[in-house]
Structure 1
Amino acid sequence: MKLVVVSAGLSQPSSTRLLADRLTAATTRHAGTGVDVEVEVVELRDLATEIAQHLVTGFPPARLAAALDAVAGAHGLIAVTPVFSGSYSGLFKSFFDVLDKDALTGKPVLIGATGGTARHSLVTEHALRPLFSYLRALVLPTAVYAASEDWGEEGLAARITRAGAELARFMAPEGEAAPAKGTASAKGTAPAEGTAPDTDTAAAIAPRSLTGAITSVDPAGGFEVVPFEQQLAALKVG
């Protein structure tokens, strides 16, 4: 499986890159025994000039083209941005502006952001989630925001672990589960070592089989998908 990480941090060292690295570590840790996860990190700081050139010429330079191809070919994406003026950074937005409009369709995306204060914690919901939903990505339920005071807190570590477990589960190849080591499968029972998950479990986990909204994800107990028709019927009743 290929995991691509997009980090829009501008400084070195960067808290944005630190959060991206921790989310990456949590994802690979939950990928499952024997699952090879290839990780590629795209540092937008290094591509700022190429992104600007692409915006005005319509043609991506070689390094940017390689980064765009990596994102399009990934099985999963981690996207982390610093918060500027209450939203994602211009560099972050510009990168996804030049990405092919179909590159993220159906792709699981874990979103994260960093900021100096907890007052920006909803940026993942009012800015990042709508952006990736517009690009038709499969945006995971758990988004991770880290304010300056959050580093070292147990709450941040728990959110990172939960988010990584979700992404690992959705990145699993069709027909294969990716439970965390020592946790149960999507049906609540861990499969025996060396055996494949049953067809019901595979169908529940395979990203391409999802046709509804993801309402909850539990690393130990799988996730729940409510069909759109059922949601619509509930709204009409209400």
Structure 2
Amino acid sequence: MEPLKLVAVSAGLREPSSTRLLADRLAEATRARLAGEREAEVRVVELRGLAVDIANNLVTGFPGAALREAVEAVTAADGLIAVSPIFTASYSGLFKSFFDVIENTALTGKPVLIAATGGTARHSLALEHALRPMFAYLRAVVAPTAVYAATEDWGSGGDGSTGGLAGRIERAAGELADLVLGRYGAGPAGDPFEDVVPFEQQLAALRP
């Protein structure tokens, strides 16, 4: 059985980047959650090095070789982790531009974990009013838990195990792993509405 493909997209602009660090932590946590059942290969796509190719693609409609390879990796992934820094209360322009060059049906049904980094926790709702609606429009299947990491979440030592961040990473990774394995929210087999009494029968039972 071939390994599952996990791809993490990081839109961090600096080196080192907290956005890349969060992408790495989420990818490793998801790989670890899958390890008991399926082997998974992880690839990180850093958009920083593709910025010129993305701009050229938006203008010309033709991707360069490096951008084409990145897009193919994302669209072929069994699970996608998408991480953006938050600028002006939303995802970065580079992050949005990358997904703009992908066909708008290419992510249909794909399990996606969304995450973001920022200087203050006040911008955490950008995950819900910006990233989640974008992937909903692309018809991806977005994990319920979104992960936001503010500067203080990393702790003074710079590790990702302080505060509540580690717990959020583990919860989100578990949800993505379940989505990739096709078992998230699985209930008993059969039609859950099979035994529902039709409304007309319920009304008839109320008549004297």
Structure 1 residue aligned with 2:171: 162
Query: Are 1:88 and 2:109 counterparts?
Result: no
How many angstroms does 1:34 deviate by?
4.9
Which string of whole-angstrom CA distances, capped at 9 and with x for unpartnered residues, describes residues 112-165 of structure 1?
Answer: 000001110101001000010000000110000000011143311100000001
Quick one: distance in 1 between partners of 2:166 and 2:154? 9
How many angstroms does 1:32 deviate by?
3.6
Quick one: distance in 1 between partners of 2:118 and 2:127? 11
How many angstroms does 1:12 deviate by?
0.5
Deviant stretches of 4+, over 3 Å? none
2:153 aligned residue (150, 153, 157): 150
What one-letter code is carried by the residue in structure 1 that aligns with 2:36? T
CA contact (8 A) 1:5 1:20 kept: yes
Quick one: distance in 2 between partners of 1:118 and 1:40? 28
Structure 1 residue aligned with 2:134: 131
Gaps of 5+ in 2: 156-161, 197-208
Q: Which region of structure 1 is more displaced relative to structure 2, 65-74 or 151-160?
A: 151-160
Which string of whole-angstrom CA distances, capped at 9 and with x for unpartnered residues, describes residues 5-34 of structure 1?
Answer: 100000000000010011011101110425
Count of aligned positions? 185
Quick one: distance in 2 between partners of 1:88 and 1:8? 9
Quick one: distance in 2 between partners of 1:7 and 1:122? 19
- TM alignment of 1:60-209, pairs within 5 A: 60-152=63-155, 153-172=162-181
Structure with larger Rg:
2
CA contact (8 A) 1:115 1:147 kept: yes
Quick one: distance in 2 between partners of 1:124 and 1:29? 24
Quick one: distance in 2 between partners of 1:70 and 1:32? 21
Quick one: distance in 2 between partners of 1:126 and 1:34? 34
Quick one: distance in 1 between partners of 2:149 and 2:99? 22
Gaps of 5+ in 1: 179-185, 188-199, 205-225, 231-238
Aligned-residue RMSD, C-alpha: 2.4
Structure 2 residue aligned with 1:26: 29
CA contact (8 A) 1:71 1:103 kept: no
Structure 1 residue aligned with 2:40: 37
Q: Does the residue aligned with 1:154 lie in a helix, a strand or coil?
A: coil
How many angstroms does 1:107 deviate by?
0.5
How many angstroms does 1:70 deviate by?
0.7
TM-score by length of 1: 0.73
